[in-house]
Structure 1
Amino acid sequence: MDQLPDIIGYPLAEALQICESSGYEIEIVVTRPVKATTEENPRVVRFNVVSTNKGVVTVAFEDIVRGGG
């Protein structure tokens, strides 16, 4: 585990596969806008390493109805 996996922006399922193949155990934290209307398409917005083989992945749900996507 010399190099951190570059998973920012990846869909959650794909990011978890990358982390697992890199040897990391992952905890997931969810963040969302106050007025979120959907809980679909989680994407990674942050990856923090908390120990040698453990990381925390923060995900946010895409809200494509409100623009930007």
Structure 2
Amino acid sequence: MDVSPVLLTEDDVFAAIAEVEASIRASHRRRLELLAQVLRCGYDLDAYRALVRANPAEFKQWVAQV
């Protein structure tokens, strides 16, 4: 949906928000799947964190979710 937010109805805005949130959740699930593989395989965790540019506190939360 490439329409200026000013031109959207309330229903359109809420539908777009729901779509974005679903995409974010799916991306986060995939992020955690890949992080789990990094942990299982003993790959360089610091390199992974640097690659995704996560701050240490946020990264710690992700690791706890795996």
TM-score by length of 2: 0.30
Q: Which has the higher helix share?
A: 2
Choose 1 or 2 for highest CA Rg: 2
Q: Which has the higher strand share?
A: 1
